[in-house]
Each structure stands twice: as structure tokens, then as C-alpha cells.
Structure 1
Amino acid sequence: MRGAEQIVWAGGEHPFRLGIGELRAIEQRSDAGVAVVLMRLLSSQFKIDDVIGVIRLGLIGGGMAERDAQKTLEAALEVSSPYALAVPAADILRRFIMWETPDQPGELAAGKASEG
């Protein structure tokens, strides 16, 4: 999985990371796959826990203590609505379930031999 990424959002600038454990927790809490949660966030058909869970677990995955992540999220909810926080939540989730690579899948970089 990927390392943490610095993201600027309503709560400030923090490292976020969603590893397998955090992604599974999102699925369990939302009773849906992470791709479904992403689509709900993007289509404004999200549940509040879709927004809160992704951000909180992303902060924890990025290295923040659970208690601090909850306080940071609560502070962000003082200045931004859950609707406004759906955008960064979708961005956080997208970054850790799909990302761009320099080469297309299946293609080897120029000058690289196949392993195996």
C-alpha cells in the first residue's frame, strides 16, 4: 500500500493514509465496499459516517492518535458542514484505492526486463 500523503482540508494540513486495515474498517462501518462509499461521496448520496469515517481513519492511518483525530475532526465540523467535508473525504478515499502510475498496467518501463 501507499505511504501517507499530506492533504490540506478544513481541519488544517495533515498526513492521511488508508491502509488495508482502515479500508476494511470503512467497509464494515458503512456496510458497503470502498468503491460504493466513494461513489456515494461523489454523488452526494453519502451517509454522515461515510464522511466522518474516511477522514478520521485517514488521520489515524497517517499517524495521528485516535483521540487527536476525533478532536481534529470535531474542530473541522465547527467550521465546515458534513456536505463540504464530503469533497475532501472523497479525495482521501480516492487517493488510496486508485492512483496514477507512470506506466500503464502490464507495460514494462523502457529498458526493464520482466521478473519471473
Structure 2
Amino acid sequence: MRGSESIVWPGGEHSFRLGIGELRAIEQRSDAGCAVVLMRLLGQQWKIDDVIQPIRLGLIGGGMPEREAQTALDKALDVASLYSLAVTAADILRRFIMWETDDQPGGEPGE
């Protein structure tokens, strides 16, 4: 799995990471596979947990304590619409389920 990535989002700039444990938790909370959640986000057919869980669990996976992650998410919900946070959630999911490695098409060694 990939390491954490720094992402600028309505809650500031933070490290995010979705490992296997976080991806499974998203699936359980959303009652759908991660690819289905991503497609719901991209197709504007999302549910609230489709938006919230990738962000919250991504912050936790990136090293933020659970309580701080919830606080950061709550603050973002005060300043940003759920729609704009859906864009963030889709970006987070995309980064951790659709990335390419050097041995896959599109990846060049050293990129």
C-alpha cells in the first residue's frame, strides 16, 4: 500500500492515507465496495457516509488521532458544503485505490 499524501482540502492541509484497514472500514460503513463508493461520489449519487468516512479515516490513516480527525472534519463541515467535501472524498479514495506502480501501464521507472 502507499504511504501518506499531503492534501489541501477545506479543512486545511493534512496527511491522508487509506490502508487496507481504513478501506475495509469505509466498505462496512457505506455498505458498498470502495469502487462503488468512488463511483457514487463521482456520479453525485453519494450518501453522507460516502463523503465523511474517506476523509475521517484518511486523516486517521495519515497519522492523526481519532479525536483530532473528527474535530478537523467537524470544522470543515462548518465552512464547506457537503458537495465540496464529496470532491475531497473522491480525490482521497482515487489516490489510494487507483494508483499505478512502475510495472503497470502508464508508469515509468523513476516517475
Same fold by TM-score, threshold 0.5 exceeded?
yes
Give me the whole-angstrom Cα distance separating, in 1, the residues matched to 2:81 and 2:61: 23
Counterpart residue type for residue 63 of structure 2: G
The residue aligned with 1:99 is 99
Q: How many residues align?
A: 108
SS at match of 1:87: helix
Task: List runs of 5+ in structure 1 lacking aligned partners.
Answer: 110-116
Residue 88 of structure 1 aligns with an amino acid whose one-letter code is T
Equivalent position amino acid for 1:20 in 2 = I
> What is the rounded CA distance, in whole Å, between the counterparts of 2:6 and 2:43 in structure 1?
25
TM-superposition CA deviations, 1:50-70 (whole Å, max 9, x none):
100010000000000000000
Q: Match for 1:29: what amino acid? A: R
Segments of 4+ moved more than 2 angstroms: 100-105
Structure 2 residue matching 1:15: 3-state secondary structure = strand
Identity among equivalent pairs (%):
78
| Bigger Rg over Cα | 1
Query: In structure 1, what is the equivalent of residue 37 of structure 2?
Result: 37
Pairing 1:17–2:17 present: yes
What TM-score, normalized by structure 2, do the two folds share?
Answer: 0.92
What corresponds to 1:78 in structure 2? 78
How big is the alpha-carbon RMSD for the aligned residues of Structure 1 and Structure 2?
Answer: 1.7
The residue type equivalent to 2:52 in the other structure is I
Q: Calculate the TM-score normalised by the size of structure 1.
A: 0.88
Report the Cα offset of residue 103 of structure 1.
4.1
- Structure 2, gaps ≥5 residues long: none
Q: Distance in 2 between matches of 1:104 and 1:36?
A: 23
